[in-house]
A and B are shown apart, each in its own frame.
Chain A
Amino acid sequence: MPVSTCSRPRGRAVDFASVFATTIDWERQMVSRIEAGDDSALAAVYDQYGALVHGVALRLVGSGSAADICQEVFVSLWNQPERWSADRGSLRTFLAMIARRRAIDHLRSSGRRTANEQRAHGGGSLFGVEVDEAALALISGDGIRAALASLPDAQRQAIELAYFKGLTFRQVADVTGSSEGTAKSRIRLGLRRLGEQLNITESVAWR
């Protein structure tokens, strides 16, 4: 299938149908080629998902280490392509998850996450304005911004802490002054509502 480069339209709503038109078939073939040792397939996957992976890392660790994490994610795909299975979700999702984990590992190892947690705890507001703005500024889709903004405050805040800051449910609960169960419930409900608002269904997903 034809696959464009990773350039994304900025400043307007993401066309999800188009985004997900990169089908599982293409991903399967690319990973089969990578398994066969075809480095040009890895380059093609990078061209398609490099910005996604880099964006995930950038949000969490900043520009200092995001490029290195991005590279590591693709090197890990090269070394262990069999870790991805189309039966368990798209390659896109897989790479985004790996990027998050690597970025959070980086934060943990560098101690910066602790600083983030302290910052989240400190100040007069639950979320320092500058932190919220910085996170949201990296989200280019107006539709997603609008969907996030439409969530109940408690749900949106919990998602921001858990997703954009990589905090555990326990830590989200501490920051928001709620129980862990409540924090978890808010995140789950908020994500489901987000999915509904963005019309993210199985038909446009990847299974």
Chain B
Amino acid sequence: MTREPTDLDAVAAEWGVEPVLAVLAEAGAASPPASTRARLVERVASSPRAAAEPMLPADLYAARAEALRLLLDDLGDDEWHQRAAPYVWTVHGLLAHLLVIERYTAAMLGLGAMPAGDGNDHLALGGDVIAAEIGSPPADTARRWWEASQVIAAHVRSDRSDPNAPLPLHGWPFSVSTGLVARAFELWTHHEDICRAAGRVPNRAAARELRTMSSISVASLPFLLPSDGKELRMQPTRVVLTGPGGGTFDIGGPGERAALLVADVVDYCRVVARRIEPEALERTVEGDAALVDGLLSGSCAFAV
């Protein structure tokens, strides 16, 4: 069937009379039969909107490492020496910390020696390595970090790696898959930290990357709720993350929805990474606001 606008519709915008036509329509509003809504809901339920395809956690980790490498390659001398808030380190020092964490992750995968220090103390781990790296040229630290990340990437993308095998990191009982997502979160977060330190606007992560990070995070929310320390009971909740890479997630089991949270997917990920305080997240909440507050508070439990 040809679909041509009428002459009037075709020129309405040009003439600036669309609002007038809408008012004519508004004034003629007539409620449709009740069955129309039911049929619409049924039809939509049977054709969910396609979301960005999640990535394999190993590919996500590799993609975030590559994104960080590209940023580091572009940094000027001055930018390496800017303070990377919220840390006391400079950009160079932050990257040295990341180098330690790559080596720690590799060690937990059985791929190398464990850095000195307590693995459960994320920031204090490998202090000697950090101190030594800060005394070396940033480009050398960048090269060593990249090499360490590629040892991990090559391993977890190979047939030798079992995505479901345990990969405890900093005391959290991750699997290889979830641990890699946590590490990807860390790379993404420090990518943004470095951009901010350098006065750059970070590029938005790819939709598939955000989808993977956010979906794993949202799925964990019911299990993180008690970590808030409040007596909250998980109830059916819908989380709607908007923007490319977002999606709609129903968590907390079936039943009547107790709460709805709507937020931008990037901002949500920043809450998870502790770069936005949960209470500062721009959001829309319907229903049990205390439950949503608790979920958001728990969402950043993995950020150490």
Contacts from A to B (Cβ < 8 Å): 6-8, 14, 16, 19, 29, 32-43, 46-47, 50-56, 58-59, 66-67, 70-71, 74-75, 78-79, 88-90, 92-93, 96-97, 99-101, 104-105, 108-109, 138-141, 144, 162-163, 166-170, 184, 187-188, 191-192, 194-195, 198, 200, 205-206
Contacting pair A36 B36 (CB below 8 A): no
Contacting pair B45 A100 (CB below 8 A): no
Residues of the B chain whose Cβ atoms lie less than 8 Å from the Cβ of A89: 13, 18-19
Q: Which 8 A/B pairs are nearest by Cβ-Cβ distance? A: A141-B27, A54-B32, A51-B29, A32-B242, A96-B25, A55-B30, A37-B49, A37-B248
Contacting pair B7 A139 (CB below 8 A): no
The distance in angstroms between the C-alpha atoms of A41 and B44, with both chains bound, is 11
Contacting pair A37 B48 (CB below 8 A): yes
Residues of the B chain whose Cβ atoms lie less than 8 Å from the Cβ of A42: 40, 44
Contacting pair B22 A75 (CB below 8 A): no
A-B contact pairs, 12 of them (CB 8 A): A6-B31, A39-B41, A40-B260, A54-B29, A55-B25, A71-B40, A78-B44, A90-B22, A96-B25, A97-B18, A184-B7, A188-B17
Contact of A67 among B20, B24, B36 (CB under 8 A): B36
Contacting pair B240 A38 (CB below 8 A): yes
Interface string of B225-240 (1 = CB under 8 A from A): 0000000000000101
Verify if B160 is at the interface (C-beta below 8 Å from A). no
Residues of the B chain whose Cβ atoms lie less than 8 Å from the Cβ of A70: 32, 36
Contacting pair A7 B18 (CB below 8 A): no
Residues of the B chain whose Cβ atoms lie less than 8 Å from the Cβ of A206: 19
The distance in angstroms between the C-alpha atoms of A62 and B39, with both chains bound, is 19
Contacting pair A43 B21 (CB below 8 A): no
Verify if B158 is at the interface (C-beta below 8 Å from A). no
Contacts from B to A (Cβ < 8 Å): 1-3, 5-9, 11-13, 15, 17-33, 35-37, 39-41, 43-45, 47-49, 51, 238, 240-243, 246-248, 260, 262, 284
Contacting pair B28 A140 (CB below 8 A): yes
Residues of the A chain whose Cβ atoms lie less than 8 Å from the Cβ of B284: 29
Contacting pair A74 B13 (CB below 8 A): no
Nearest residue (CB) in B for A195 is B20
Residues of the A chain whose Cβ atoms lie less than 8 Å from the Cβ of B18: 89, 93, 97
Nearest residue (CB) in B for A99 is B25
Contact of A52 among B29, B39, B260 (CB under 8 A): B29
The distance in angstroms between the C-alpha atoms of A128 and B242, with both chains bound, is 51
A132 to chain B, nearest CB (A): 14
B259 to chain A, nearest CB (A): 12
A152 to chain B, nearest CB (A): 16
Contacting pair A105 B248 (CB below 8 A): no
The distance in angstroms between the C-alpha atoms of A200 and B32, with both chains bound, is 26
The distance in angstroms between the C-alpha atoms of A29 and B242, with both chains bound, is 9
Contacting pair A50 B32 (CB below 8 A): yes
The distance in angstroms between the C-alpha atoms of A79 and B238, with both chains bound, is 21
Nearest residue (CB) in B for A70 is B32
B29 to chain A, nearest CB (A): 4
Contact of A40 among B26, B33, B51, B238 (CB under 8 A): B238
A70 to chain B, nearest CB (A): 5
Contact of A169 among B7, B241, B260 (CB under 8 A): B7
Contact of A93 among B5, B8, B22, B41 (CB under 8 A): B22
* Beyond A53-B32, A89-B13, A92-B26, 20 extra complex contacts between A and B, CB < 8 Å: A8-B26, A19-B26, A33-B240, A33-B262, A37-B49, A52-B25, A52-B29, A78-B49, A88-B13, A92-B22, A96-B26, A101-B9, A104-B6, A105-B1, A105-B2, A108-B1, A109-B1, A166-B6, A167-B6, A206-B19
The distance in angstroms between the C-alpha atoms of A139 and B33, with both chains bound, is 18
Contacting pair A33 B242 (CB below 8 A): yes
Contacting pair A101 B5 (CB below 8 A): yes
Contacting pair A36 B3 (CB below 8 A): no
Given A70-B36, A71-B39, verify A191-B20 contact (CB < 8 Å). yes
